[in-house]
Amino acid sequence: MGTAPKEATAHTRAANAPVELGFDPADFDRASRGLVAQIPDGRIETPYGVVWDMSRYDFIERDSTNPDTVNPSLWRQAQLNGIHGLFEVAPGIWQARGYDISNITFIAGETGWIIVDPLTVEPCAKACLDLANATLGERPVTAVIYTHSHTDHFGGVRGVTTHDDVDAGRCRIIAPVGFMRETIGENVIAGYAMIRRAMYQFGPLLPAGPRTHVDCGLGKAIPFWPPGLIAPSEEITETGTELVVDGVRIVFQLTPEAEAPAEMNFFFPDHGWLCTAENCTHNMHNLVPIRGALVRDSLKWSKYCGELLELFGDRIELMFASHHWPRWGNADVVQYLTLQRDLYRWVHDQTMRLANHGYNATEIAEMLTMPPEFRAEAHTVGYYGHLAHNIKAVYQRYLSWYDGNPANLWKLPPVDAGRRYVEAIGGVDALLASARRSFDAGDYRWVVELLNHLVFADPTNTEARELQADAFEQIGYQCESATFRNAYLMGAQELRNGCLPRTPAGRHGYLDAMTPEQLFDTLAVKLNADAVGGLSVRINFTFTDLGEQWVLGLANRALHAVPGRHDPAAEVTITTTKPVLYKVIEGGVPFADAIAAAIADGTVVAQGDVAAAERIFGHLDTFLSNFPLVEP
Ligand SMILES: [Zn+2]
């Protein structure tokens, strides 16, 4: 099979022809303003390998026009996201940008650094702190603010502070209410699937290049390193809360269920600085990401932007966020926030207007196009989100995935449908011939729908896989949304070259933050119900590290967990710590061996019939990474 990406077709060349976009050229000044230092080549290394390397993207030159394999508007965003360095935003506030998908912000407090969002991973956060200390003078980190519950805003915290400093009160960690619950809750039960789907959203397995990866829309790329977490020492529970953090006054606005389930904007009243977290960045964001997540509330999102204007509008001198570049000047920021407010409201209201006229999500996604108000400014363009996808998210939030037509209510799964479609169309050759005609006509969206049936009916059909890959690729080349581009190009890459090997997938990075309830919920979705018919058991747990008691029970092929007590009739009582239990479950050895070893080394004390616990722990599935997405 051909393995290399192909050139743009005539249709794609025409679609991607360089155009005058008419976007504000001042974005390049904003993204470059105040540069004080850079990490050479934007390269961050550890003894274990390269974590970040901006030089991979040197082909995206500042003043170049787009190659025919990249959408011209996305190319501009990729140029902007390629600007990296430590920048002075205003006296007393600096940002390091372009060293992770997100930004890290340094604010000079009375005695040390107040850090907003310590990036995704420790090496990137540490490299940026080192750069700030070396350039601006060494300061201790006295506070960290997590703007929200997404990994790229806390995962690097161990690069800027330590558990000890937080426990000793030398460093405050401030987060929005519900941060810990939502950090884990959003992706723990679906985590294994979400990580795999995220590979398509961000494209980390695509090489950098004009025919492959150019950007993520929200930032350049995601770094290669496991994230970490230190729990917040305090939570903001109310809009209007004012804190003095290392001598700096900050007023908070909570924005739950907008960009993240736990998130907050905040304002510095003595300076006129506004941090919009990830609620307002320089693109139209996702109302549901293509990696999958709980759908977001675009109505609330818009109203928070409005509330922000009411609370602070007349006092804002500059705004900064945890992605992209800042903006300066009251009039400019107010105009920006107003358009952001109206964007999320427009998507919401117009989707529901048409839904109430009886159109379904797929139809609405084709009926609505971005009006000129939102096409006039790059910060409302879907480089990360995508209008069609966001419309479906709004519809889904109110009306579910189902469009109301019973023909779509109970569909055959892809392989069964695929075989029947291939037959109905007149066989493999007829389908391929039709697909090829449509490909030649540039009707790529139809090609991928048609060929999907054949690939699922017969994934060994090389001609079908190659043509499907070619069609994915041309769509990807034309996409303005980086996440859509990455998804299509990943699909093409895997059809041509196959997936990476499937290995047991873990969620180790989140263990520290998981509650026993979340741990048991994660465990429960691994239970192989076919294997536990007729079995029941009750297991008491005492977690000595948490001071908690739980009962975990199996009945009717399902688990249930009860906090706060033991069951006197339980078959076994296990006394241990949460990490040991996790290791016993996820350690990759049979439960009987793991529990025996833990009992032997004293990390588990069991009273009663230990073997009875096998009824649960002996019947847990192992999830594998790299499951197929574009083939059965
Ligand atoms: Zn983010």
Q: What is the mean pLDDT of residues 49-77?
A: 97
Per-residue pLDDT reduced to its tens digit, 157-172: 999 999 999 999 999 9
Instruction: Output the CA angle 516-121-164, nearest 5 degrees.
Output: 65
pLDDT band at 507 (very low <50, low <70, confident <90, very high): low
Rounded average pLDDT over 441-445: 98
Between 3 and 109, name the one with better pLDDT: 109
Task: Kindly list the protein residues that place their beta carbon closer than 5 angstroms to ligand 1, a single-atom ion.
Answer: 102, 152, 278
Instruction: Say which residue, 63 or 398, is predicted with more confidence.
Output: 398
Q: How far is the CA of 120 from the centre of ligand 1 (A)?
A: 9
Distance 201 CA to ligand 1 centre (A): 13
Q: Which helix (H) or strand (E) holds 432?
A: helix 428-440
Q: What is the reported pLDDT for 583?
A: 81
Distances in Å between the Cα of 72 and the Cα atoms of 158, 368, 479 are 38, 22, 9
The CA 200 to ligand 1 mean position distance, Å, reads 17
Residue 188 exposed, middle or buried by CB count within 10 Å (0-12, 13-18, 19+): buried
Cα–ligand 1 centroid distance for 102 (angstroms): 6
User: Residue 18 — φ and ψ, nearest 5°?
Assistant: -55, 135
Both tokens of 151, joined, read 């990994």
Q: Reply yes or no on whether the pLDDT at 323 is more than 60.
A: yes
Q: How far is the CA of 126 from the centre of ligand 1 (A)?
A: 18
Residue with tokens 């398509």: 200
Task: Please state, for a pLDDT cut of 90, what percent of the chain lies above it.
Answer: 90
- pLDDT value at residue 587: 74
- Work out the angle at residue 15's Cα, subtended by the Cα atoms of residues 14 and 17, and round it to the nearest 5 degrees: 60
Average pLDDT, the chain: 96
pTM metric for this prediction: 0.96
**Among candidates 572, 568, 534, which has minimal Cα distance to 554?**
534
What's the gap in Å between 60 CA and the centre of ligand 1? 23
* pLDDT score for 579: 86
More confident residue, 3 or 160: 160
Q: How many CB atoms lie within 10 A of CB 563?
A: 13
Mean pLDDT of 40-63: 96
**Separation of CA 51 and ligand 1 centre (Å):** 18
C-beta atoms surrounding 616 within 10 Å:
24
CA–CA gap between residue 186 and residue 195 (Å, rounded): 12
Distance in angstroms (rounded) separating the CA atoms of residues 252 and 15 = 44
Assess contact for 250 and 266: CB atoms under 8 A.
Answer: yes
Question: How close is the Cα of 309 to the center of ligand 1, in Å?
Answer: 22
What pLDDT does residue 1 have? Answer: 46
At residue 130, the 3 state secondary structure works out as: helix
- Reported as a single tens digit per residue, the pLDDT across 122-156 is 999 999 999 999 999 999 999 999 999 999 999 99
Tokens matching residue 258: 């907008």
Q: pLDDT tens digit string along 261-311? A: 999 999 999 999 999 999 999 999 999 999 999 999 999 999 999 999 999
Query: Beta partners for 554?
Result: 537, 559
Please give the structure tokens belonging to residue 221: 């790329």
- Whose CA is closest to 176, among 256, 98, 115, 107? 256
Cα separation, 30 vs 50, in Å, equals 29
Separation between Cα atoms, residue 385 and residue 625, nearest integer Å? 25
Cα of 153 from ligand 1 centre, angstroms: 6
The beta strands (E) that lie in 485-622 are given as 537-543, 548-555, 558-563, 572-576, 605-608
For residue 3, name the pLDDT band (cuts at 50, 70, 90). confident
To the nearest 10°, the Cα dihedral for 475, 480, 482, 485? 0
The DSSP element (H or E) to which 122 belongs, if any, is helix 122-136
The percentage of residues in the chain with a pLDDT greater than 70, rounded to a whole number, is: 98
Tokens of 537: 């058991």
Ligand 1 center to 577 CA (angstroms): 32
H-helix segments, 47-121: 72-81
Scanning the structure block, which residue is given the tokens 């293509």?
Answer: 290
Q: Residues near 360 by Cβ (< 8 Å), separated by ≥ 6?
A: 395, 403, 404, 405
Å from CA of 66 to ligand 1 middle? 26
Question: Per residue in 324-339, pLDDT tens?
Answer: 999 999 999 999 999 9
Cα 260 to middle of ligand 1, angstroms: 9
Ligand 1 center to 345 CA (angstroms): 21
Task: Kindly list the distances between the CA atom of residue 524 and the CA atoms of 26, 395, 546, in Å, as whole numbers in the listed order.
Answer: 52, 30, 21
Whole-number Å distance between alpha carbons of 448 and 439: 9
Sign of the CA dihedral running 585, 587, 593, 598: negative
- In whole angstroms, give the CA distance from residue 134 to residue 466: 51
- Mean pLDDT on 538-554: 97
Classify 412 in phi/psi space as left (phi over 0), alpha (psi -120 to 50) or beta: beta
Type and span of the H or E element at 244: strand 242-245
From the CB of residue 119, how many other CB atoms can be counted at a distance below 10 Å? 34
350-395: per-residue pLDDT in tens? Answer: 999 999 999 999 999 999 999 999 999 999 999 999 999 999 999 9
Q: Is 136 exposed, middle or buried (0-12, 13-18, 19+ CB in 10 A)?
A: middle
The DSSP secondary structure of 275-309, one letter per residue, reads E-TTTS-SS---SS-TT--SPP-HHHHHHHHHHHH
Beta strands 93-97; 572-576: pairing state: unpaired
d(CA 128, CA 230): 19
Altogether, the residues listed in the chain come to a count of 632
CA of 218 to the centre of ligand 1 (A): 8
Q: Residue 406 in 3-state DSSP? A: helix
Q: What are phi and psi of 173, to 5 degrees?
A: -120, 120
Other C-beta atoms closer than 10 Å to the C-beta of 204 total 15
